[in-house]
Amino acid sequence: MLAPNPGPYTGPGTNTYLIHDGEQAAILDPGPVIDSHLAAIEQSLGELVPAAVIVSHNHPDHAPLANPLAQRLGIPSYGFAPGPDFTPDMMIVDGSTITVGSGELIAVHTPGHTWDHMCFLVGSELYTGDHIMEGSTVIIEDAAAYFDSLYRVLSLGAERLRPGHGDTIEDAAAAITEYIDHRHERERQIVAAVAAGAHVPAAITEAVYVGIPPELIPAAAAQVQVQLEKLISENRLVLTSPSSAEMHVVVPDER
Ligand SMILES: [Zn+2]
């Protein structure tokens, strides 16, 4: 089910999934509190017995309807940790299983987009929340953790991805590999931009994100900063202004 919340960061809107075995159902990522979306979820349940409300991560486009929906249905909600938009009844960790009728969801902790992000493996399908989207890359909070989480989900060997935004991805391995390649390419571009004379996030953003709309530049600069932190920790770049407000970086042999 598609929540009616399209936008620059949500694509066509948030995907709410009904995961069921024909008798019992889990609702994954109910989305924002929107009356028509709540009604659509309840209607699509039909004769299915609701068993669980599950949240991939604490973002306003995925989580806020979870607590009210679980309360209405009289079932528990599941998530990694409490946050601003949602407090889980049941806390789950990496490897937790949630039983829904004859099937189960296996939780896979995938920090990077957010520290609390969970994907869910159901048979050969992986529900990816905002770890992987269809049609775009994702905003990340921690680049090193994000890389690790991409390799982690690649190792699961899922066949198909069910993203939090966009359509189902039929070739999981190809899509995950493309994400990893894209991240490596961005890192190469950043290091090259620094070597070519861009030393602060704004200048690096201008060099790397060529031609993006002006309103997206602050978000891109924030993404550059996150990636700089990883590159500095790996000694691929060197921070030369630890005390000043703006990061200033050089390539190692420039020092
Ligand atoms: Zn998110």
Mean pLDDT of successive 10-residue stretches along the chain, which has 255 residues: 88 95 98 97 97 98 97 98 96 98 97 98 98 91 97 98 97 97 96 96 92 86 94 95 78 78
Contact 93, 106 (CB under 8 A): no
Q: How far apart are the C-alpha atoms of 240 and 57, rounded to whole Å?
A: 35
Q: Where, residue-wise, is CATH 1.10.10.10 in the chain?
A: 186-254
> In the prediction, which pLDDT does 99 show?
97
> In the prediction, which pLDDT does 40 show?
97
Cα(83) to ligand 1 centroid in Å equals 13
Cα(58) to ligand 1 centroid in Å equals 7
Residue 55 vs residues 84, 99, 198, 251, 253: alpha-carbon distances, Å = 13, 15, 40, 41, 46
Q: How far apart are the C-alpha atoms of 186 and 19, rounded to whole Å?
A: 35
> In the prediction, which pLDDT does 125 show?
98
Cα(46) to ligand 1 centroid in Å equals 29
Q: How does DSSP classify residue 59?
A: -
Contact 92, 108 (CB under 8 A): no
> In the prediction, which pLDDT does 45 show?
97
Structure tokens given for 96:
């937790």
Cα(130) to ligand 1 centroid in Å equals 5
Structure tokens given for 148:
């690790």
Q: Where, residue-wise, is CATH 3.60.15.10 in the chain?
A: 17-170
> In the prediction, which pLDDT does 233 show?
95
Write down the pTM of the prediction. 0.94
Please name every residue paired with 120 in a beta bridge, in sequence order, or none if there are none. 107, 127
Contact 212, 220 (CB under 8 A): yes
Q: How far apart are the C-alpha atoms of 105 and 70, rounded to whole Å?
A: 18
> In the prediction, which pLDDT does 212 show?
86
Residue 95 vs residues 50, 181, 217, 236: alpha-carbon distances, Å = 22, 27, 38, 33
Cα(104) to ligand 1 centroid in Å equals 24
> In the prediction, which pLDDT does 242 show?
63
Q: How far apart are the C-alpha atoms of 14 and 130, rounded to whole Å?
A: 10
* CATH ID of 17-170, from 3.60.15.10, 3.40.50.2000, 1.10.10.10, 3.20.20.70: 3.60.15.10
Cα(238) to ligand 1 centroid in Å equals 30
Q: How far apart are the C-alpha atoms of 205 and 109, rounded to whole Å?
A: 30
Cα(170) to ligand 1 centroid in Å equals 22
**Which CATH code is given to the segment(s) 186-254?**
1.10.10.10
